[in-house]
Amino acid sequence: MHRSTTRDFFCWLLTISAAACTQSNNPSLDSAAAGGSAGDSGTTSLASGGSGGATETGGVPGTGGTAADAAVAGQSGSGGTGAAADAGIADQTGDDGGASLAADSLAVRFANMVLSHWPDPAGIWTSKGFEYNHGIVLRGIEQVFRRTGDARYLAYIKKYVDENVNDSGVVNIAATHSFDIIQPSVLLPFLYQQTGLAKYQTAADNIRARYDTIPRNPDKGFWHKDIYPNQMWLDSIYMGETFLARYGAVFGTCGSFCGDTVVEQSLLIAQHTLDAPTGLYVHAWDDSPAGQKVAWADPTTGRSPSIWGRAVGWYAMALADTLADLPADQAGRSDMLAILTSLAAGLKATQDPSTGLWYQVLDQGSQSDDWLESSATGIFVYTLKVAVNRGYLDSSYLSVAESGWKGLQTKVTTDATAGLITITDAVEGMGVEASYAGYVGHKTLSNSPHGLCAILLAASEMEAR
């Protein structure tokens, strides 16, 4: 990738927003083009995949008027970042006030259901151990904790992490590279902030060290998993870069590596997966040499063919959440904001006007076999709401989030006999598909990790008062 090509791509993006493209030398673009930064020390970064297909994750948690606020604000300050200049960044909620959740809110009801249905968080949906299916639900629980201060939620998260991290800070995690198994690590800085226990910082340090050996493709992009050579997936940015941004903000020991790497990876995948007509992004990109690309990849560009809703959701949410943790003067931050702005416009254009929901394949809603999907919808609702509250998007997107929230609530049911509250119509986990038919051919699930993550995050923001 040549620097001029990279700069031209982001200059085009920046014409959509108000960011300046007049500077002949943007160091962040040079950094992305070069595949690293002065603070990189030649290290690689995180890029693994997910178990059972595409890696997928939840959203950055929020705080609001809880006992967590003081700890978060204090620890972030020690991180030496300038991110607190953004509204609501110090406490990581979508607002800068003390908004909280009512006891009868959907957020609290779903959180209570999770604790009741799976008393041991290691049993949430799967018994795979330290892995994203657990981690994304716990990210949602963290959001509810930050809005309520209910110690049960903190204890639940701690129980899961303590089952996988010993007293010396050693994480019970496979040696192989996969973003699916990295994702729960984002809970480590949170627990350190809440408890002050050194083992959580040690564990976070150990996870950070893994980034130094993650394989990269020829353009310096992290592999999604070591079994997917040269592939970058949108999912990976949420699964891996949110931890790195949070680690840098909380501990302040990462130098420029964390921020530069988050920007580098976020911009690189955007360049190679952008669907210019919609402003949205295809699921993945294979940077393997010609003749060696995987079956789903275009033989010339390496791009996958379809704009899958949840993958776009992971990427959009990663932008909103990592922006909250990056220093205010981070090189490339304005480029990430420009991407989020154009992406939000694409989401607004593809939202189903009659329901407020989004489709499984975002730009194919006119097809008779495309269908409305709840997990992507919840992730988009969360992303748009926090982005408006933090000042990343203008206030017109609040109505888009509100319409999505109204639609998402139609996917919530309560069993009349058992009283079990349920989020329906979340597509199962999947890998990259070679065709539109592959995406719409997957089944939907009820109270799956992806659906629970989405409803917990969306409800925590939309119901906070």
- Please list the active-site residues: 235
Q: How far apart are CA 97 and CA 63, in angstroms?
A: 9
- At 77 the pLDDT is 32
Residue with tokens 């010993």: 166
- At 66 the pLDDT is 35
pTM (predicted TM-score): 0.83
- At 408 the pLDDT is 98
Phi, psi of 167 (to 5 degrees): -65, -20
Q: How far apart are CA 362 and CA 348, in angstroms?
A: 11
Rg for the chain, CA atoms, rounded: 20
Q: What single string gives the DSSP state of each residue in 10-40? A: HHHHHTTSS-----S--HHHHHHHHTS-TTS
Q: What single string gives the DSSP state of each residue in 329-345? A: T-TTHHHHHHHHHHHHH
- 3-state percent helix, strand, coil for the chain, nearest multiple of 5: 50, 10, 45
For the chain, the domains span: 3-462
Closest-CA residue to 282 (of 297, 263, 267, 264): 297
Q: How far apart are CA 166 and CA 243, in angstroms?
A: 20
Q: Which residues contact 392 (CB under 8 A, 6 or more apart)?
A: 320, 323, 337, 340, 341
Angle between helices 449-462 and 132-148 (to 10 degrees): 20
Strand partners, 361: 308
Q: How far apart are CA 110 and CA 115, in angstroms?
A: 9
For residues 135 and 125, the answer to whether their CB atoms sit within 8 Å is no
Pairing of strands 412-414, 231-233: unpaired
Instruction: State both tokens at 275.
Output: 């669907």
Residue with tokens 């609040």: 398
**One digit per residue, pLDDT tens: the chain, 465 residues?**
444 455 566 565 655 444 434 333 333 333 333 333 333 233 223 223 333 333 333 333 333 333 333 333 333 333 333 333 333 334 556 654 589 999 999 999 999 999 999 999 999 998 889 999 999 999 999 999 999 999 999 999 999 999 999 999 999 999 999 999 999 999 999 999 999 999 999 999 999 999 999 999 999 999 999 999 999 999 999 999 999 999 999 999 999 999 999 999 999 999 999 999 999 999 999 999 999 999 999 999 999 999 999 999 999 999 999 999 999 999 999 999 999 999 999 999 999 999 999 999 999 999 999 999 999 999 999 999 999 999 999 999 999 999 999 999 999 999 988 889 999 999 999 999 999 999 999 999 999 999 999 999 999 999 999
Q: How far apart are CA 71 and CA 192, in angstroms?
A: 9
Instruction: State both tokens at 358.
Output: 């989004």
Q: How far apart are CA 269 and CA 279, in angstroms?
A: 14
Helix and strand counts by DSSP (H, E) for the chain: 18, 10
| CATH number belonging to the domain at 3-462, selected among 3.10.20.30, 3.30.2270.10, 1.50.10.10, 3.40.50.720 | 1.50.10.10
Query: What DSSP designation does 429 have?
Result: P
